[in-house]
Amino acid sequence: MNERESIISLREQLHRHNYNYYVLNAPTISDKEFDEMMHRLQALEEKYPDMSDPNSPTQRVGSDLNDEFRTVPHRRPMLSLANTYNLEEVREFYQRVSDGLHGQPFQVCAELKYDGLSISLHYRDGKLVQALTRGDGVQGDDVTANVRTIRSIPLVLDSSREDIPEEFEIRGEVLMPWQSFERLNDERSQAGEDLFANPRNAASGTLKSKDPKVVSQRGLDAYLYYLLGEDIPSTGHYENMESARSWGFQVSKDMRLCNTLEELWEYISYWDVHRKELPVATDGIVIKVNSLAQQKALGMTAKSPRWAIAYKFQAEQACTILREVTFQVGRTGVVTPVANMDSVLLSGTMVHRATLHNADVLEALDLHIGDHVLVEKGGEIIPKIVGKEGTENGKRKTENSEKSEYSEKSEYSEKSEYSEYSEYSETSDDKHPPFRFPFSVFRSPIHFIQRCPVCGTPLVRGEEEASHYCPNDLHCAPQIIGRLEHFVSRKAMNISQVGPELIQQYYRNGMLHDVSDFYRITHDKKVADSVARSTEVPFERVLFALGIRFVGEIAAKTLARKFKDIDSLMSATMEQLLETDGIGNVIAESIINYFASEENRALIERLRQAGLQFTLSEEQLSTHSTTLQGQSIVISGVFAHHSRDEYKRIIEQHGGKNVGSISGKTSFILAGENMGPSKLEKAEKLGVRIVSEDEFLAMIGQE
């Protein structure tokens, strides 16, 4: 056998050994023998570069490429499943299926719902050719290079199999096993880096990494659960997945065909208990009608198939002891109380801290140091205290409960999205010690603080707000750090080479005082180049990046299109701001106050000198129109010419407003294929006009 033939032979052998080790968990050679074969193949591939193959086993380790992900349309929409936490709703689903099939007998396939990131894998001639994330369901990110590093995903299938279609798509979930998750967080802890909240976040962040080498080192796994194509082997979903298993895909062995509702109850009841024994995170059961013909007969709504549903397990609770309460300051100055407790195992991770959200929630819980508290994870992600042992969990609410629930979502999402500098008071120097209630004050009641725990400024709470905040936004360290992190984030200036750790390092070294200092960095070429590219970011994102209190991504877009440039916005009156669609008193006052500050105006001038975009581009100005001015538009269905996100942008570009639900105030519905029947029925009832994709494009003057 010559060396070129050896390359082909080694690849075949290594693919087989990968499958034996990572899927079957039954290796037939030692690690040392595997490594020796891999090294020999690497050497031969270097010697014969013309024999390169992206699906070679050597590519499992990843390359140094860090290209941006390109967005690719799905051949078939990846719709999400309708969720239920109620067994009675599962019964109702079962009955709807029976009614929809007019009494025909049917089977359902019950499967574990893995808690990871949805993926679509495309194979042609037995080789992996493309891997896409779910994205918005219509299009996803091409993550093929990263997926090739996941060892349980076959790159090349057995060419001797005659039942493998020439072309097919298989969907599943990329996830991080508990063992990999714990190892990764141990490494990050030792390095002083932020920990991942749960395996799903870790898997998602890893798969979207721009460095495949990082992906290859983190131990991702994948379970596949749906086969699609023109020439798939069977008319049954369960049977197709068994075929996929025989081709080399990792398919759960815990799927079960159920002929009756009672069998389905047994399956759900069993896994509600035993899921904790699995090596990966699960958060429910997926129930699918097994027959593909019956699936087709039942059809889809605009958002989800009628032949499948996801039953989500109830959030797991645990009891532990409250030891102390600390108060954290966020990017916008919001102060959040955080419970520090004895560590307890919850949904597969050790939990020792939980958000208490705001003063209303703190008062409603009536907590004391030393209380035995009940903790659960909201959505299996965010730890929160729901009550004390012996009380009705989570049922004691104040009259401000609606505002409290809103605050729970908005403030915690702020921390998770921007890696908020909330740990500052616990990790900073002696100048800013943490504010906490010590355990030594046993059984003492917990009260919300009156002053900022970092800078000492008296806290403020607006009449319509659930949270207290520190108004010292220009000189309070966590707020400064938070704004710096927000400024570089992906949806803002997207300065990819600057992360939270580097920002904190630069801030402590005196290199960063405000966001304009980024544009003075010269000692690190990678950082400087990344910062320089941000000067091309459009005006609406620059406005969002400034971090004006209450001005989110949507409000920034609206304001940019209304006022066209920063100078017009800075000089806008309260009346002019309130004339802007979607801008109310709270946002308008915040904008007026922001630009009333001489320090903020000076910052704008420094950023202008650095070359940032403070006006709409010529292209934006030329394509902007008032064709849809004053019209509220609902988008529904799947489209051929543009994605849903693109249509939302086009509507805003022409002066229209995107709304999520149909009402008597809806101007019209932009309807694509598979518009939901409930929306259609409501539109007809309210007399709301239905506009097709082509009609809409003609309306705005596009072919």
295-345 per-position pLDDT tens digit? 999 998 766 799 999 998 877 788 999 999 999 998 889 999 999 999 988
pLDDT at 448 over 90: yes
Give 549-600 pLDDT, tens digit per residue. 889 888 898 899 889 999 999 999 999 999 887 788 889 999 999 999 999 9
Which of 264, 293, 312 is the last residue before a domain boundary? 312
pLDDT at 188 over 80: no
- Residues near 588 by Cβ (< 8 Å), separated by ≥ 6? 574, 577, 578
Domain membership of residue 352 (yes or no) is no
Same domain, 511 and 546: yes
Most confident of 118-122, 298-302, 431-435: 118-122
From the CB of residue 531, how many other CB atoms can be counted at a distance below 10 Å? 21
Domain membership of residue 393 (yes or no) is no
CA distances from residue 97 to 108, 261, 289, 303 in whole angstroms, order as listed: 10, 12, 8, 17
In whole angstroms, give the CA distance from residue 578 to residue 564: 16
pLDDT at 413 over 70: no
Same domain, 45 and 181: no
pLDDT at 398 over 60: no
In whole angstroms, give the CA distance from residue 150 to residue 279: 17
Domain CATH for 643: 3.40.50.10190
pLDDT value, residue 22: 57
pLDDT at 396 over 80: no
Enter the tokens of residue 21.
Answer: 């080790």
* Position with higher pLDDT, 426 vs 10: 10
Confidence of residue 703 (pLDDT cuts 50, 70, 90): low
pLDDT value, residue 424: 34
Same domain, 115 and 223: yes
Percent of the chain residues past pLDDT 90, beyond the cut: 47
pLDDT value, residue 377: 74
Mean pLDDT in the chain?
84
Same domain, 614 and 666: no
pTM of the model: 0.52
Domain membership of residue 472 (yes or no) is no
In whole angstroms, give the CA distance from residue 158 to residue 245: 12
Most confident of 24-38, 196-210, 234-248: 234-248
Domain extent, residue 525, equals 477-621
pLDDT at 406 over 60: no
In whole angstroms, give the CA distance from residue 502 to residue 511: 11
- Arithmetic mean of pLDDT, 633-661: 84
Cα(first)–Cα(last) distance of the chain, in Å?
Answer: 60
Domain membership of residue 648 (yes or no) is yes
Number of domains in the chain: 4
Same domain, 168 and 51: no
Residue type, 226: Y
Same domain, 651 and 667: yes
Cα dihedral across residues 570, 574, 575, 581: positive or negative: positive
pLDDT at 96 over 90: yes
Domain membership of residue 349 (yes or no) is no
Domain membership of residue 615 (yes or no) is yes
Backbone angles phi, psi at 342, to 5 degrees: -65, 140
Enter the tokens of residue 384.
Answer: 């929160």
* Position with higher pLDDT, 288 vs 135: 288
Nearest Cα residue to 84 out of 353, 285, 269: 285
Give 503-552 pLDDT, tens digit per residue. 999 999 999 999 999 999 999 999 999 999 999 999 999 999 999 988 98
Which of 249, 284, 312 is the last residue before a domain boundary? 312
Give 458-467 pLDDT, tens digit per residue. 999 987 788 8
pLDDT at 65 over 60: no
Residue 296 is among the residues annotated as catalytic for this protein: no
Angle, helix 598-609 to helix 585-596, in steps of 10 degrees: 80
pLDDT at 641 over 50: yes
Domain CATH for 21: 1.10.287.610
In whole angstroms, give the CA distance from residue 61 to residue 213: 6
Cβ–Cβ under 8 Å, residues 169 and 229: yes
- Arithmetic mean of pLDDT, 398-408: 33
Same domain, 209 and 121: yes
Domain membership of residue 177 (yes or no) is yes
Domain membership of residue 362 (yes or no) is no
Same domain, 120 and 213: yes
What's the chain's length in residues?
703
Same domain, 90 and 190: yes
Domain CATH for 497: 1.10.150.20
Confidence of residue 40 (pLDDT cuts 50, 70, 90): confident
pLDDT value, residue 652: 82
pLDDT at 5 over 80: yes
Same domain, 128 and 187: yes
Domain CATH for 178: 3.30.470.30
Same domain, 41 and 139: no
Angle of CA points 692, 698, 699, to nearest 5°: 85
Which of 602, 621, 640 is the last residue before a domain boundary? 621
pLDDT value, residue 696: 92
Same domain, 165 and 268: yes
Helix residue spans in 432-564 (DSSP H): 477-488, 500-508, 525-533, 539-545, 553-563
Catalytic residue from among 32, 47, 113, 253: 113
Cβ–Cβ under 8 Å, residues 171 and 241: no
In whole angstroms, give the CA distance from residue 112 to residue 404: 33
- Arithmetic mean of pLDDT, 493-499: 91
